[in-house]
Amino acid sequence: MTVSGFTLLSRILGFVRDMLIGHYMGVGRVSDAWNAAFQFPNLFRRVFGEGAFNSAFVPMYSRIRAEAGDEKAFRFGNRVIVLLGLVLSVLFALCFVFIRPVMTALNTGFDADTIDLASSLAKITSGYMVFVCLVAAVSSILNSHKNFMAPALSYAFLNIVFLGSLWFCVPRFGQPEVVLSWSLLIAGVIQLSVVLLPAFKLGLKLKAHMPKWDADMKNLGLLMLPGLLSAGVQQINLLVGGWVASFQTGAKTMIYYADRINQLPLGLIGIAFGVVLLPEITRKVRSKDEAGAQESIQKGLTMAMLVAIPAMVGMAVLANPIIYALFQGGEFETSDALYTGQALMAFSFGCPAYIMVRVLQPGYFAREDTKTPMRYTFWSAGLNAVLCILVYVTLKDKGFLHIGCAIATTIAGWVNVILLMLGLRRVGYLRLNQEYWKRFVKMCLAAVLMGAVVYTLARVAEDWIYVDSKLLRIATISMIGAIGVFTYFCFAHITKAMTLRELKAGFRGS
């Protein structure tokens, strides 16, 4: 459980961080400005870091390593990292100079004061894009050498730095949005150090040089191009949703907090399985073991759904209690918790889809096919954009933009999954047998029964969930969640959706 375990640690620390941010900022103009500035460098991370780069680099690095050895693979990695650092530095300079028109275009619904604040914060946070993208690049090398611990641990340090700032600096100096912006840069330096140290021990040597556009770089660029376009469209997709949300004060923040809760299963299972599956499937494809690759994908889907289905039911049933327990207090008002809970419920129905995408995509990337997922992303992103615009037109003046944007994202996510599954089926890499579907139905049954249990418990424990003591609220909702997890796996074991022995075997490799 190395990858999932450290990712879970990072997520837990992230929840504590978000609770403190919510306490100090609440939901309003300042929180919207901070979220706009914080999400800006993460757009580049998803495009140049974890998205297009990883899917193109890992198979190519693995091939060079298998054919020519570690030393040549490390030289290739060094050339790529230097070139990526140069590109990112230029992008940072451009963003710094033109940050105000960029913030204005991305958040048209903000008033002038909020745009000013978002622009000043983004000038600081935009530097993080350089560090976090390099972290993703070095992490790809470590993952290719089956070192998953350092990359997973590096993201925990982001939250550790944030928590230190929130606990020690904000109470003394105020201005949490400014403190957090500078903390983001410090965290970037630490994160890069965490992944560089084990990479150096493996044999990676970073040497400054003038980047050369040789055959390997051209091949990597060609492999990355579809992924860049795909990831770019995905981010444009998110930007459209953010642009729509900017027309309702606080909606950007509500969507952020709701999505943070919704992303827990993705962070714990989806990303972890995606990281582990890509090298595994790549090796099987290289050795012409198509049956083995197909088996790996089906196993990944089975283990992912084992967590995703009950997570969807649990978040849908407990959306409002979860948000109230975690965030209400300080500047975060009761009405903010209610509206954020509505967004979480809408997001929750897409939870299995977000995880399935992470499990299905390695089936394409392992064959160095980045064009097909790109095409599917275009279609689903286009649908999401259309739905978001429809939400804007119909709900702009009704105060429901936070719900509409979440529903649009959920629908588009499922469309993407359907397309990915059909594509893998056509090339023979996805043949879900009868055993899989039997397990799936049993998992759904176990999740529904669990949902009934936790809903009843939440109703009984309302006086403890909606009290002033945040510690008591969190303890109560955690206890209900723990009982729900125990209940679900008992039902799963009884129905033979997944026995305890199979469960241990399935997660041992993650």
Has residue 1 got a pLDDT over 50?
no
Residue 231 lies in a domain: no
Structural domain containing residue 199: 1-212
The pLDDT tens digits of the residues spanning 16-61 come to: 899 999 999 989 889 999 999 998 887 777 666 555 677 677 778 8
- Given this model, what pLDDT does residue 377 score? 82
> Does 323 fall in a domain?
no
Cα–Cα distances (Å) from 130 to 70, 127, 337, 366, 375, in that order, read 26, 6, 34, 27, 28
* pTM (two decimals): 0.78
In a domain, 206, yes or no: yes
Residue 233 placed within a domain: no
Which residues touch 148 (CB under 8 Å, ≥6 apart)?
2, 3, 142, 275, 276
Flag whether 141 is in a domain.
yes
DSSP assignment string, 151-216: HHHHHHHHHHHHHHIIIIIHHHH--HHHHHHHHHHHHHHHHHHHHHHHHHHHT-----------HH
In a domain, 265, yes or no: no
Which one has a higher pLDDT value, 225 or 373? Answer: 373
Does a structural domain hold residue 57?
Answer: yes
For residue 336, is it within any domain? Answer: no
Q: Check: CB of residue 212 under 8 Å from CB of residue 82.
A: no
Residues in Cβ contact with 143 at an 8 Å cutoff, skipping those fewer than 6 apart:
58, 151, 275, 278, 279
Q: Which two tokens stand for residue 355?
A: 């995880």
Task: Tell me the sheet residues that pair with 160.
Answer: none
- Distance in angstroms (rounded) separating the CA atoms of residues 338 and 148: 38
pLDDT over 60 (residue 264): yes
**Number of domain units in the chain:** 1
Q: How far apart are the first and last CA of the chain?
A: 5
Q: Is the pLDDT score of 356 beyond 60?
A: yes
pLDDT of residue 313: 95
Average pLDDT over residues 173-199: 92
Q: Helix, strand, or coil here: 21?
A: helix
Residue 464 near residue 423, CB atoms below 8 Å: no
